[in-house]
Amino acid sequence: MDHSHTHNVGRRELQMARSMCWHCQSEVSGEYFCERCVKVQPVSKEADYFTCLGFPRRLTIDPHKLEAKFYELSRAFHPDFYQNKSETEQAISLSNAATLNTAYRTLRDPIQRAEYLLAIEAGAVKEIRTSPPADLFEEILELQDTLEAYRASDQSSQAGHQLRAQLQKEQHALEQRKQEMETQLERLFIDWDNLQDRGEATGETRAERDRLLKQIREILSNRTYVKNIVNDLVATIG
């Protein structure tokens, strides 16, 4: 067992940190209800959304399983079922339910899920791109010129119609581009999951891990950039 492996195990334990039941002080470890007094326990502030929903940190998640787990935990935490309970339990239920809802909303969407994983794995805040990605640079510059020309033109004129048609074509192309990025992401997500499943912690896999995270981050930010451009386009040409 090399050093980094021990490190990983240590991290895992931290997530499932043992703590005491707020009510009867008996030991609870990661369960949502105390085994002794059956009181609801607050979801740990350190727990990430994957842990909260009982899923491993993977980028491909079966939406049906995720939904089933969300429903199950909703039945456990929702304030509706704590109306007759103590104030402390009501407060825990409210805060747990709010955390659960955020966790589900984040993990349900593959893009948000990946952005969240990047944040907890690499500590990266969401990168907001202000200039176009290199391979789209010229295309975007041209598009912006056309957009300006369209805004300045008499939109009901022949020229206006032509510009509009051109923009529609661009929109279509960009949407396709976004689709391609999403396909690329899906492949990277599978690579990431495979790497995690292998569970090795050699120098090689660490390098592979960093490479994957970097790639995912770049495509994610490019995708967001393209998405925003498309939204602008739609807002202008309707």
Residues that bind other proteins (CB under 8 A): 71, 74-75, 78-81, 83-84, 94-95, 97-99, 101-102, 104-105
To other proteins, the closest distance from the beta carbon of 122 in angstroms equals: 21
To other proteins, the closest distance from the beta carbon of 83 in angstroms equals: 5
Q: Supply 221's token pair.
A: 């930010």
Residue pair 163/153 in contact (Cβ under 8 Å)? The answer is: yes
Amino acid at 44: S
Q: Would residue 54 be called left, alpha or beta, if left means φ above 0 and alpha means ψ between -120 and 50 degrees?
A: left
Distance in angstroms (rounded) separating the CA atoms of residues 95 and 90: 9
Residue pair 236/167 in contact (Cβ under 8 Å)? The answer is: yes
Q: Which of 163, 150, 113, 134 is nearest to 225 (CA)?
A: 134
Query: Between residues 70 and 192, which has the closer beta carbon with respect to other proteins?
Result: 70
Distance in angstroms (rounded) separating the CA atoms of residues 124 and 115: 9
To other proteins, the closest distance from the beta carbon of 8 in angstroms equals: 29
Query: Between residues 71 and 137, which has the closer beta carbon with respect to other proteins?
Result: 71
To other proteins, the closest distance from the beta carbon of 197 in angstroms equals: 30
Residues 6+ apart with CB under 8 A from 73: 32, 53, 100
Helix/strand/coil for 111? helix
Query: Between residues 78 and 227, which has the closer beta carbon with respect to other proteins?
Result: 78
To other proteins, the closest distance from the beta carbon of 84 in angstroms equals: 5
